[in-house]
Each structure stands twice: as structure tokens, then as C-alpha cells.
Amino acid sequence: MSASKARIRLMRKEDWDAFQRIDQAIFPDDRMEEATFSDRVELGGFFAVEQEGKLVGQLIVSRFGETGAHLGRIGVAKQLQRQGLGTILMKHAIEWFKEQEGVTHVLLYTQHDNYPAQQLYKRFGFKVTGTTWHFYVPFNTLKPLHQCSCHPILSEEIDTVGKRYQASMPAAQIRRFLQREHLILTLKDGEGRIVGACRFSPKFPGCFPFEIEHLECFDDFIEGLRPHSLPEFDYVRVTFTENPELAKLLEGRQCKLHHRLFQMRLDLA
């Protein structure tokens, strides 16, 4: 089949069966659950690529903060890779980003050893700007000091948190998360000062973005997530960017590294 015959359209809820078959093959370690799939369809920015009436690829794009955007997911059925479909999806994504009012830059995350994907992104002008780690942290490995405590963010704290963690959690994005009923939690020291923040998804279960200013408070932060966690999970997945000290700490504890990613950025002309 020729890539020129591909058609891109919005994903629909009735695509679920076909979608999950290719999704499981493309992303076996991060396949999407049906509830998440339905939510993504409702949000928009979720595209399917078809050839001869068959779903063969996917693309997820979204706004991020006031001036940013995010390329969240891009993939093509394995038997059709290296045939130009990835390029077609990337062109569609770039067009979508440029149509969004006020967007000046785009971020994406890719496996550090996924060289074909990195080459594709670089062809479109993306550059590596950081490293992201994704660890599994079992609750039974924690030794909290009880010096800090975890709290749902207050409305009057959103601008403060957004300014402090502008790169990962700008205020506009925090409000967008809250509209979608995500949990945004802050970490506060004994004097009530904010020293960390995260978005927590109990069904995942995990945090991304995850920001912490003092490593000695890490166990307190993760312990503070326990009341928000679902009972079937005895761990939390923590994803963070440009914090090698935290990565070293978790490696020393022999926490499982799920993957290491490169953050890449495209500045739009």
C-alpha cells in the first residue's frame, strides 16, 4: 500500500477495537486503556490514519500552557513502518500546531534509544533539550521523615505553582488539568511553603509532571500520594525531567526504571 493513499481523520469511539490491536503492537508497555481512549476522543486532537479503510496509525496532539503544545503520541502499525506514514502524520501535527493561536513551541518525549523516531523528529526541526526518567516506586521502599505533607492544590496557589514550575506545570496547564478532574497536589514543608508539585493519576498510577525541590522530602511526597491511590496498586510511577540527582537516588534503591526519554522541542517560526 502506498503512503500517498493514507487519509487522516479524527479518531472515533467506534475505532476502539481496531485501535487497541495496533496500539498493543506499537506500544506494548504503554498501551492505552479503553477509558483513556474514550476521554482522548472527547478532548479532540486525537487522529487516526487510514489506508483502504483500515486504521493503521494514530496521532495525539494538544495545547500545553499558554504558548506551548505537546505531541503526545504518534505511531504506525509495525508492518507499515518506514513507508512514509510517520512523515505524513508529522506534517499533519505541525500544521495543527501552527493553526493554534498563540502557540510558539512544541514538546515531545521519545525513548532515548528509539533512533528512527529521533531522526524523524529532527528532520522536522526538533532538538533534544533534556532527559526524562520514569521509575516504579513501591510504597514498601519508603522511609518518610514526616517533615513535609501532601495537599490538593488550592485555587489561590495555581499562579504561584505555575510560575515556580513554569517549564512543566504552567498555570494555564494546571487549570486545564483541573478541568479534566486530574489531581494536582502540592508538597509543603513544616512552615507551609510549597516545595514540590505534581499531577497524579490514580488509574495509572503515577505522576507526570513531578517536581520536588529537596530530595530528602521525596519519601514524604510519595507517602502523601498513598491516600489518593487505588487499593490494587502498591507502587507509584514517577516521571520527571532534568533531575539526575533524583534518578541516582532511585537507581541506588534499585527501583525499576521503566524507561528513559529524551525531551525534544520545536520552536515554531
Q: Quick check: helix, strand or coil at residue 23?
A: helix
Residue 195: how many CB atoms within 10 A of its CB? 19
| C-alpha–C-alpha distance, residues 65 and 36, integer Å | 21
Tens of pLDDT along 208-225? Answer: 999 999 999 999 999 999
What is the model's pLDDT at position 152?
97
What does the pLDDT average to over 178-197? Answer: 95
Q: Which residues contact 224 (CB under 8 A, 6 or more apart)?
A: 148, 149, 150, 151, 185, 187
Phi and psi (nearest 5°) for 41? -60, -45
Q: Give pTM, 2 decimals.
A: 0.89
| C-alpha–C-alpha distance, residues 132 and 149, integer Å | 25
Within this chain, domains 3-103 and 134-260 share the same CATH topology: yes
What does the pLDDT average to over 6-33? Answer: 91
Tens of pLDDT along 63-97? Answer: 999 999 999 999 998 887 777 899 999 999 999 99
134-260: which CATH topology? Answer: Aminopeptidase (3.40.630)
What is the model's pLDDT at position 266?
98
- In this predicted structure, which of 29-38, 51-60, 166-175, 214-223 has the lowest mean pLDDT? 29-38
Domain ranges of the chain: 3-103, 134-260
What is the model's pLDDT at position 33?
87
Indicate if the pLDDT at residue 1 is higher than 50. Answer: no
Indicate if the pLDDT at residue 2 is higher than 90. Answer: no
Give residue 4's pLDDT band: very low, low, confident or very high (50, 70, 90). low
Q: Do β-strands 256-267 and 235-241 pair in parallel, antiparallel, or remain unpaired?
A: unpaired
3-103: which CATH topology? Answer: Aminopeptidase (3.40.630)
The three three-digit cell numbers of residue 231, written as one number: 487499593
Tens of pLDDT along 122-153? Answer: 999 999 999 999 999 999 999 999 999 999 99
Indicate if the pLDDT at residue 3 is higher than 70. Answer: no
What is the model's pLDDT at position 194?
98
Mean pLDDT of the chain: 94
Give residue 28's pLDDT band: very low, low, confident or very high (50, 70, 90). confident
